[in-house]
Structure 1
């Protein structure tokens, strides 16, 4: 399996773009995948990713 590395501040940038009603881009989705696979996320970042994924499942966030 290839090594996936999350960019610093990526979660905050994704959350800010979604808050501005922008759809999730393919690069955002790759960032979320890296976040899910990253064991060094803080609890706050982990909760943010969980909230964002729940919003996608419920249809509140558009996926481009």
Structure 2
């Protein structure tokens, strides 16, 4: 079964980092953005660090995962 073409919007990772930092919540939309970022082979080093920072915050319990969009 082929994988669907998932494209990350420019600036999406930085926007997610700001949004998650301010709200303390990782929304469903953010999770889809993180999925797209993890599949993007051309992600910059800064964007990879931002994704890792978000995931570490979730892992440490500093960010709540919600079903909100």
The runs of at least 4 aligned residues of structure 1 exceeding 4 Å deviation read none
SS of equivalent residue, structure 2 residue 25: coil
SS of equivalent residue, structure 1 residue 18: helix
- Highest CA radius of gyration, 1 or 2? 2
SS of equivalent residue, structure 1 residue 20: helix
Normalising by structure 1, report the TM-score: 0.91
Aligned residues: 64
Q: Once the two structures are superposed, what CA deviation does each residue of 1:3-60 show, in whole Å capped at 9, x if it has no partner? A: 1100111111111111213411101000000001101110010011011111111111
- The answer to whether the Cα contact below 8 Å between 2:24 and 2:62 also exists between their aligned partners in 1 is no
What is the Cα-based RMSD across aligned positions, in Å? Answer: 0.9
Q: Which runs of 5+ in 1 are unaligned?
A: none
1:36 match: 38
2:33, 2:23 → 1: CA distance? 18
Bigger strand fraction: 2
Q: Which runs of 5+ in 2 are unaligned?
A: none
1:49, 1:29 → 2: CA distance? 11
